[in-house]
A and B are shown apart, each in its own frame.
Chain A
Amino acid sequence: MFTLMLTSVLLLAGCTGNKSATTAPEANGTEETAATGGGTLIVGRGGDSAALDPAIVTDGESLKIAQQVFDTLLDYKEGTTEVMPSLAESWTISDDALTYTFKLREGVKFHDGTDFNADAVVFNFNRWGDTKSKYKFEGDSFDYYDSMFGPEEDRVIASVTATDPTTVVFKLNKPQAPFLQNLAMTCFGIASPKAIEDEKANFKSNPVGTGPFVFKEWKRSDSITLDKNPNYWQEGLPKMDQVIIRSIPDNTARYNALQNGEIDMMEDLSPDDLATLEANPALQKINRPPFNVAYLGFNTTKKPFDDPKVRVALNYAVDKKGLIDAFFAGQAEPAVNPIPPTLWGYNKSVEDYPYDLAKAKQLLADAGYPNGLDQELTFYAMPVPRPYMPDGRKVAEVIQASFEQIGVKVKIESPEWATYLEDLKNGTKDDLFIIGWTGDNGDPDNFFYPLLDKDSIGGNNYSQYDSEEFHDLIVKAQQETDQAERSKLYEQAQVIVKKDAPWVPLVHSTPLLAAKAELKGYVPSPTGSEAYTNVYIEQ
C-alpha cells in the first residue's frame, strides 16, 4: 500500500504537464462580418478555477471566468494593454495626482437585478482595503489589492467616496503612476454588494457582477456554464447565448477534443501540434501577443560575473534564433530588452548583441580571460516547463555547448522547483540561471521593478543587479503620471540594462490558441484572458 502511495506520487510528478498560470499573448485580428451569433461556445482550457470571486484569487484560470462575469471600472482595449473606459465613462485627475474622480455609466444593473452605482464601487473597495471588513470571509485574502495598492500599513488608496450615485472620488496617499492601469485589472471587478451580503462566504462559488455573461453552474474540474446577460450595457452584446468552459488538463487530449468537435476553441496548443493544425482547414490558429520574457541571468555578485565585460561577452555566445527554432517551434521572438515589444515604453532603438562566437571570445580576452574561464560554473536550468520556457534543461544544454566553444565550462543543475527558486533568491549556489516572468498588468514597472531594481534583491531580482542609475530612473517613473514622460524614462532604463547586461534576454514566447474555422471575432489579450463578448460562431 505504501508502494501504491509512492507510485501515485511518482506518476503524478512525472505527468505534471505544460500548464500556464498567468499567461500572456498577440492578436490575429479576425475580421468581423455581419454579427450572426447565438448558440453555445465551448472553450477548453488546462485547469479549473480556484474560486470565482476575482478579488480573492491570483491565478490566471480563475481570472478567466471573472473576466466574463464582472466588469471593472476601466478596461484594456481589445488585444492590447491600453486603458479605456468601462463601468467608469470618464475621469479627471487632480494636478497633484492625488485625487481621481470617476463618472460612472448610468443604467447598468448587476445580474441579480440591483443597480450598479457609486455606492457599489465604494462597497467593493472598502471590502478589499479594510482588513477587518466583515465581508472578508474565512481564508480570504485580497493579495492583488495588497500588491497593487500597497499593504495595510502603506496603502496607496486613502479613501473612496461616493459624492452622488454616478460619481466616485478616490483620494490617494501618494501618487501612483500605473493607477489607472491597475484599476483595469480583472481582479478589481465590481461585485454586487447585495449578493455578497446575502451569500457571504458562498459568493466565491456564486459570483454576481455586471459582465457580459451570467454565472449558471460550476462542476468542479469539469465545466463552468455561463449564460448571456440579456441586459448587458453594451448594445447587442454578447453574441453567444451561452459559454461553457471546460477543464481538460492534457494538451494533446484537449487538441483531440477540438478536432472531434467536442469543444470550439482551446487554449495552450503545444507547439508540436502546430503542423497538423495548419494542415487542417477546419481549424484555425490564434496567436496571443507575447507578454513575457525568458532570460539567462548572471549572478552579478559572484566572480567573474561581477564584471560587466564578461557578461557582455557571453551575450554574444547565445544563439536565440536557433533556440526558438529548436524548442519553440518558431512560436517566439528573440528578446532584446527585459520587456516584450507589445508593451508601451519598449525601446526599439536598443540593438541586440548578435550571435558571434569569435567576437565573444575576443571580448572575453579583453576582459582578462584570453584562455577562457578557468573554473567550472554552476548553471541552474529550470526543472519545470513554463509558458515562456517549455524545456529549460535542453535550452541550457545548447547554451552550454556554445559556451564551451569560447572556453567557458558550465555544469547544469536542476534542483526541485521550490529549492530552485529559493536558491536563486539567495544567490549563493548558482552562477548563472534560466528563469522568466509573465506580466500581471500592462505597466512596464511590473517588469522592471520586481526583476531588476535593487529594492527587489532578495525577491525576484535574482541577478542581484544593483545599479543606482537604473534605480533612480525606475523610482522616478513610478512617481510620474504622464505616460509619455514615463515612457522616456523606461527607454533610458533599457539602454542601461543592455550596457550592464545582467541578463541575456532570451525570448518572448507566443502562446498559441486554436479554434474551429467558423469561430470569429476572437481577439486574445496580452494579459492572458479576455471576455468572449465579441466572439461568435458563423453558422
Chain B
Amino acid sequence: MKSMKFLTATALSGALGMVGAVGLPAAAAQAEDLTLCWAAWDPANALVELSKQFEEESGHTMNFEFVPWPNFADRMLNELNSGGQLCDLLIGDSQWIGGGAEAGHYVKLNDFFDAEGISMDDFAPATVYAYSTWPKGSENFYALPAMGDANGWFYRKDWFEREDIRAAYLAETGEELREPQTQRELLQIAQFFQEREIDGQTRYGAAIFTERGSEGITMGATGALYAWGFQYESEPGSYQMDGVVNSAAAVEALEFYKELYETATPPGYTDSYMGESLDAFKSGQVAMAMNWFAFFPGLYADPDIGGDTIDFFVNPPQEVEASTLGGQGISVVAYSEKQDAALEYIKWFAQPDIQAQWWELGGYSAHNSVLNDPGFVDSQPFAGDFLEAMANVQDFWQEPTYAELLLAMQRRLHDYVVADQGTAQEALDLLVEDWTEVFEDEGKL
C-alpha cells in the first residue's frame, strides 16, 4: 500500500513537473525581477510609487537600489566599472554619459527607439542634449531623459512680505525687497538678512553649496559663473580653455561667489550641499537657499515652512540668463541579463500619460506633452521657474574623464572660496592647467 502511495505521488509529481515544464517557463520568461538604481532623494520615492503601475501592467517586479547622494557616484561608478549586474536600469548623472557610452556601460538605444516609435523630439531639447547624447549633440542616444532638474532658489516669502522687514530693507538699500532679479541683488538681499534678528532669533542670508568631497561647490559656484557668461572652451570640442575658463568675467563671478560665502552665509557652512541647504532653510536659519528643483515639491508640501511661507525663483542672471543643470537620464545597463524587460520599462516610462503622472507625483518630466501643457505653469508654484531654468541650463564637462575634471574644479574652488588661498584669477589659472593636463593625457590636446 505504501509503495502504491509512493508511486502515485511520484507519478503526480512527474505529471505536475511536465505541466510546469511546459507552462511555467513561458510565464517566467515574461516576469523578471528588475532592479533600478538611483540616488536616495524625494523623486526616487515618487518613482517607486509610479512604478507600481508598471508592475501591474507588465508582471515584472521592480526592486530599487537608492544610494545617498554623497556616495552615489562612487557606488554606481564602481558597479559599472566592475561590470556588476546589480542594476538593470540606472538613472545616472548627466556627466556620466560620456564614460557610460565609451566604456560600454550603457546600451545604445537608437534601434530600440526606432523600433518602438520613441522620438527624442518629444522631449525638451536641453534634456535630450544633456542626458542622452554622446558625443554631445550627436544622434547617438544612451538614455531617455528621466528627471529634468536645475539649480534654483527658494526663500522665506513670509519674511519678504513683512512690513517691518520691507521698511528696514528700503531704509538700508533704497530699494524694494523682492525676488532678486540679478546675482548682485541676491547678494544685497542676503547681506541684509545676515545676522538680522527676526522673531528673537539671529538669521542669516543664504545657504549655498560649498561641499568639497563630491560636486557641491562646483554646482553652486557655476550658478554664478554661468550667470556671468562662463564657458568651458572657446569653441565646442576645441578644448581651448585659456582665456575662457579664466576670463575676466569668470574671475568676477568667482569673486562674487566668495563674497556671498563670506558675508551672507551661516557660520560653519564650509562643507554644505543639498542636505545642509535644506536643513538651514527648514530650521529657519536663512532667508534664502539654493538647491535642486527636485526638492521643491517636498519643500512646498512641508507643513512648517511650505505653502504660503515659501516661494521660489530661478537662478538670477547677471550678464546672461543661465542655470546649473542637474537631472538625469535613464539607461539600460549593458551588463544586465534582463535587458528586454528593462527596455520594456523605458518604453512604458516614455508614454505621455505616464510622464504626466510622473510630474504629478513629484518627478520632473522632460516630456514636451507635459511641459507644453497650457496648465503646466500654474500646476505648481515652481513650475514656471522650472521651465525658465530649463531653457537656459548649462552642464559641466560630460567627458569620460569628467571625474578628474570635476575633482580639479572642486579643489581649486574650495581652495579659493572656503580656504581663502590665493586669488580668483590664480584659482582659475590653475584650473586651466589641471584641465589641460587631463586632456593632454587623453590625447585631446
- Determine if chain A interacts with chain B: no
Q: Which residues of A contact B (CB under 8 A)?
A: none
